[in-house]
C-alpha cells in the first residue's frame, strides 16, 4: 500500500484541532495553557489526561498513552492508521490524496 506523503499528513494535522476532536469523547477543562480530563482509555477518578493545543498532542499521565490526532482516532475508534487519516480529512475538509501532482 502506498505511503501517504508527509506534506498531506501535515495539512490534515494543521486543519484538525485536537481539542475539538478529543472534546467529542472527553469532557475537557482548561488548565493554564492545556486542557485536562478523565482518560478515555482507562478507569480513573482524578483527571490525568492532558491535551496540549499548541503542540496538538495528548498524553495520559496515568496509563502513558499519548500522540497526535491520528493516534487518538486509532485508539478511540480502533481503526487503522489509514482509516484514522481519512476521518479528519473528510470531517474538516482537508484533502487526503495519494501524492499525485502538486
**pTM for the structure as a whole:** 0.83
**Average pLDDT of the residues in 62-73:** 96
Sheet of strand 57-60: strand arrangement? 29-31, 34-37, 49-52, 57-60, 66-67
Instruction: State pLDDT tens for residues 43-59.
Output: 999 999 999 999 999 99
Q: Which domains does the chain have, with CATH numbers?
A: 6-91 (3.90.580.10)
pLDDT of residue 97 exceeding 90: no
Cell 508527509 -> residue: 6
Amino acid at each position: 500500500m502506498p505511503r501517504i506523503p508527509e506534506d498531506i499528513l501535515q495539512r490534515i494535522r494543521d486543519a484538525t484541532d485536537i481539542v475539538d476532536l478529543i472534546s467529542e469523547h472527553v469532557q475537557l477543562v482548561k488548565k493554564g495553557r492545556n486542557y485536562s480530563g478523565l482518560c478515555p482509555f482507562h478507569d480513573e477518578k482524578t483527571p490525568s489526561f492532558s491535551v496540549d493545543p499548541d503542540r496538538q498532542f495528548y498524553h495520559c499521565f496515568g496509563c502513558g498513552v499519548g500522540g497526535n490526532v491520528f493516534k487518538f482516532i486509532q485508539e478511540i475508534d480502533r481503526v487503522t492508521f489509514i482509516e484514522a487519516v481519512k476521518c479528519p480529512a473528510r470531517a474538516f475538509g482537508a484533502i487526503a490524496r495519494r501524492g499525485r501532482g502538486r
